[in-house]
């Protein structure tokens, strides 16, 4: 199993267009300001650029009509605002869920899911093309890791969906799609800052959730950041034996190491961590699993998000029946653990992480 350094080291740093010409969607405001002043323009042009890219989601410099022709030509020659293109859009027939398969500039497919709710629209985006973590029940892990996504590519996913679904305001973003965000730490953190910034996408920090499989040293690093958002940890088991069998990173960072990182994060940030728990029939859905979970999380005052498994073609895992799900939930409630059940949405459109992409690749 690769560790996070190996994961980062063997990957190309950015997309081709970013190497040749910086993609402006991945730049922070001071960097944009430096760039425009280097091109001989006043600083405030950076704000105009950002407003065109993030607010109006334009796809070409030509559309930026309040910038001079000469400046637009210079931008065109030296920079890029290119983005992904739509390969396929699938809408669920029985829930307000839409899945988009986007093609990055190098042709790699990534998937995004827009999940509608009563008062919010949550967009689940990806941070890597594929994933090296290899959780046994996950479609994204099946094909392994291709590369990290650049900050511009991560941000662009939100911009593209704003374009594709202009009537569905995106209120929440979860970085929970393909990839392990903390294995692409710098790009993800940069992207999150752009998603949050008032000059960027303007999504509140409390509405942005980063989900990790449990890279403990990176959780410690996150705790030291000056910028806080929501953190969720994909736990999926409360004992090392079961967790190592389904989330292989547990062999490197077993539960005591992971929980220590979570404690440090909570102490530094005073934030609550949500623990994701995919319920797999006969694997982690027993009463003793629920009781262990209570014992593990009660001291952390952690919240649990229970996710009945969404089966993936070719993988042997099944969804527990509803009685078992209810009994598991009841034990957590009785143990004082705040728990929500993530309703199954979009099974008809292969909404489990990585499934659409996997099908596209085999196609």
The catalytic residue positions are 111, 353
Report H helices in the chain.
Answer: 4-9, 16-20, 29-38, 45-50, 69-78, 139-142, 151-164, 185-196, 216-223, 240-246, 255-269, 287-297, 322-334, 355-362
Decide whether 189 or 215 has the Cβ nearer to ligand SF4: 215
Q: Which residues contact 146 (CB under 8 A, 6 or more apart)?
A: 108, 128, 129, 130
Long-range Cβ contacts of 40-49 (<8 Å, 24+ apart): 41/71, 45/71, 47/199, 49/24, 49/75
Minimum Å gap between C-beta 135 and ligand SF4 is 3
Minimum Å gap between C-beta 175 and ligand SF4 is 10
Say if CB 149 and CB 22 are below 8 A apart.
no
Minimum Å gap between C-beta 334 and ligand SF4 is 28
Classify residue 65 as exposed, middle or buried by CB count within 10 Å of its CB (0-12, 13-18, 19+): exposed
Among candidate residues 232, 216, 131, 220, the one with its CA nearest the CA of residue 180: 131
Decide whether 143 or 268 has the Cβ nearer to ligand SF4: 143
Minimum Å gap between C-beta 342 and ligand SF4 is 14
Among candidate residues 17, 157, 138, the one with its CA nearest the CA of residue 76: 17
Minimum Å gap between C-beta 46 and ligand SF4 is 34
Q: Which residues contact 85 (CB under 8 A, 6 or more apart)?
A: 102, 103
Cα separation, 93 vs 214, in Å, equals 34
Using CB under 6 A, list all residues that contact ligand SF4. 131, 133-135, 138, 140-141, 178-180, 213, 353
Among candidate residues 359, 357, 353, 343, the one with its CA nearest the CA of residue 138: 353
Decide whether 67 or 307 has the Cβ nearer to ligand SF4: 307
Decide whether 46 or 132 has the Cβ nearer to ligand SF4: 132
Decide whether 11 or 138 has the Cβ nearer to ligand SF4: 138
Decide whether 92 or 140 has the Cβ nearer to ligand SF4: 140
* C-alpha gyration radius of the chain: 21
Minimum Å gap between C-beta 59 and ligand SF4 is 29
């Amino acid at each position: 199993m690769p560790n996070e350094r190996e994961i980062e080291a063997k990957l190309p740093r950015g997309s081709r267009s970013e190497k040749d010409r910086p993609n402006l969607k991945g730049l922070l405001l001071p960097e944009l300001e430096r760039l425009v002043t280097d091109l001989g323009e006043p600083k405030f042009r950076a704000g105009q650029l950002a407003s065109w890219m993030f607010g109006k989601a334009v796809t070409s410099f030509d559309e930026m009509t309040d910038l001079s022709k000469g400046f637009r030509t210079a931008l065109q020659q030296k920079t890029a605002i290119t983005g992904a293109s739509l390969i396929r859009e699938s809408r669920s027939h029985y829930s307000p869920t839409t899945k988009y398969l986007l093609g990055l500039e190098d042709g790699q497919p990534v998937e995004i899911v827009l999940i509608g709710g009563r008062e919010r629209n949550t967009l689940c985006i990806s941070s890597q093309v594929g994933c090296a973590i290899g959780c046994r029940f996950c479609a994204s892990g099946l094909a392994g890791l291709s590369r990290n996504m650049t900050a511009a590519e991560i941000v662009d996913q939100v911009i593209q969906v704003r374009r594709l679904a202009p009537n569905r305001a995106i209120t929440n973003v979860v970085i929970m799609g393909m990839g392990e965000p903390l294995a692409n730490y710098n790009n993800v953190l940069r992207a999150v800052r752009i998603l949050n910034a008032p000059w960027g996408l303007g999504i509140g920090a409390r509405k942005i959730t980063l989900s990790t499989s449990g890279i403990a040293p990176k959780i410690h690093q996150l705790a030291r950041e000056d910028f806080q958002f929501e953190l969720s940890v994909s736990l999926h088991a409360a004992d090392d034996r079961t967790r190592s069998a389904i989330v292989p990173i547990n062999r490197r960072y077993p539960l005591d190491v992971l929980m220590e990182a979570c404690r440090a994060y909570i102490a530094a940030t005073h934030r609550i961590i949500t623990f994701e728990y995919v319920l797999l029939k006969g694997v982690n859905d027993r009463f003793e699993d629920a009781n262990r979970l209570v014992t593990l999380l009660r001291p952390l005052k952690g919240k649990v998000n229970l996710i009945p498994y969404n089966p993936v073609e070719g993988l042997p895992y099944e969804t527990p029946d509803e009685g078992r799900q209810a009994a598991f939930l009841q034990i957590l409630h009785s143990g004082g653990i705040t728990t929500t059940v993530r309703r199954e949405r979009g099974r008809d459109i292969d909404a489990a992480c990585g499934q659409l992409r996997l099908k596209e690749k085999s196609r």
